[in-house]
Amino acid sequence: MPAGEHAGHAMAAPAAALAPAEAPAAAHDEHAGHAMATPATTAPTMAPPMPGGEHAGHATAAPTAAAASAEHAGHAMAMPAAPAAGAPVQGEMAQMAHAMGHGGGMTMDQMVLDMRKRFIVAFILAIPIFLYSPLATEVFNIRLATPFGIDANILAFLLATPAVAWSGKMFFVGAYRALRNRTLDMSVLVALSVGSGYLFSVAATFLFKGEVFYEAAVVLLTFVLFGHWLEMRARAGASDAIKALLNLTPPKATVIRNGEPVEIPTAEVVIDDIVLIRPGDKIPVDGVIVDGASSVDESMITGESVPVDKAVGSNVIGASINKTGTFRFKATKVGADTALAQIVKLVQLAQNSKAPAQRLADRAAQWLVAAAVILGLL
């Protein structure tokens, strides 16, 4: 997320064990928890990551076997852990939130909205700060009279203070945590740049005569916040894709018990259950046809638009749609073992992991911060 990537972001593997859950999972134990946005129906919850490793000096989330379940249209469905309303964000997003100082328990939508508000406030305040700055006067020849004849530096101080104190608070919190844990990340660099520019300008305004840099500090902060906001929006889109995948599985399944069809929650289907599928039904779990034949639309899983003919012995995939005939199949994979669950798990891993180039950039960022600090002191 950061303007500049945070060094050592954590990865969290999705949970594999499952259990019904309707209440939101607890927030990350160290004010890091953010939650993905949720659809109207209850979505699967994620267990909070266990600390370990480092991100801004904090632990990397190790894979967890904590239970989670998907609830779709009010019915439980065994599925790998995924983002949900009120559930803390796993992996990199949780660690990022932790290091950046967001409030715990925020949903993904709230997290994006919070960053948007911070950016807008900084942007609005940056405009008059720049227009009344020495840079605008000397370089762009913009000469504006200040309201009520207030000194331009005093006006810039009054405008820059809320931008730095509120919009930039997360960077100072993140920098404090990084330094407390003896690490350097981009939060340190941003906090150092914005903070030093602001504090020097305050001193030049009230203690001695000198050049002020309010506009540099606030404009830099505005651009960094804009980058964070864009990244959060992109991550929220990836979370929406996961929720769309989870909604593919039907909440109910019809199984044969004592020779009679019985409708049960999909989460209660077990291996070797005989499942009855009628025309138009969604297939709840993976299995092998034991009676009947039909054509099945597997486009939502395979991308193939042409229905696939199925007969006795053919494999069927959970979340695909039966088109014409009626058949029975024996469940072979349920819960987190289904093809759809594995797809969701891969998407989560991709979302929470980093490319090798990103990890290299994170390591380089530590040296960049150190070099910037040393050069600034010389």
Which residues does residue 50 pair with via DSSP β-bridges, in sequence order?
A: 62
CA distances to 98, 108, 124, 327, 365 from 6, rounded to whole Å, are 11, 19, 27, 53, 8
Query: In the chain, which stretches have pLDDT less than 50?
Result: 1-91
Please give the pLDDT value at position 53. 38
CB count in 10 Å sphere of residue 207: 8
Backbone angles phi, psi at 295, to 5 degrees: -115, 140
Query: How many angstroms separate the CA atoms of 245 and 254, rounded?
Result: 21
Check residue 79 and give its pLDDT: 42
Q: 35 CB contacts (<8 Å, ≥6 apart)?
A: 24, 83, 84, 85, 86, 87, 88, 89, 105, 106, 107, 108
* Domain covering 252-337 in this structure, CATH number: 2.70.150.10
Strands 308-310 and 327-333: unpaired
pLDDT at 271: 93
The predicted-structure confidence for 274-317, as pLDDT tens digits, reads as follows 999 999 999 999 999 999 999 999 988 888 889 999 999 999 99
Which residues neighbour 82 within 8 Å (Cβ) at sequence distance 6 or greater? 14, 36, 43, 44, 46, 68, 70, 242, 243, 246, 344, 348
Distance from C-alpha of 123 to C-alpha of 119, rounded to nearest angstrom: 6
244-264 residues labelled b (16+ CB within 10 A) or e (exposed):
ebbbbbbbbbbbeeeeeeeeb
What single string gives the DSSP state of each residue in 54-85?
A: -BTTBPPPBP----B-EEETTEEE-------T
Give the whole-angstrom CA distance, residue 137 versus residue 115: 31
**Bridge partner residues of 277 (DSSP):** 327
Nearest Cα neighbor of 136 from 197, 219, 53 is: 219
CB 175 within 8 A of CB 95: no
CA distance 323 to 308: 9
- Kindly state the helix (H) or strand (E) to which residue 339 belongs, with its residue range: helix 339-352
**How far is C-alpha 371 from the chain's CA centre?**
31
Contact 232, 112 (CB under 8 A): yes
User: Is the whole-model pTM more than 0.75?
Assistant: no
Alpha carbon 172 to its chain centroid, in Å, reads 21
Domain ranges across the chain: 8-249+350-378, 252-337
Residue 262's DSSP bridge partners are: 255
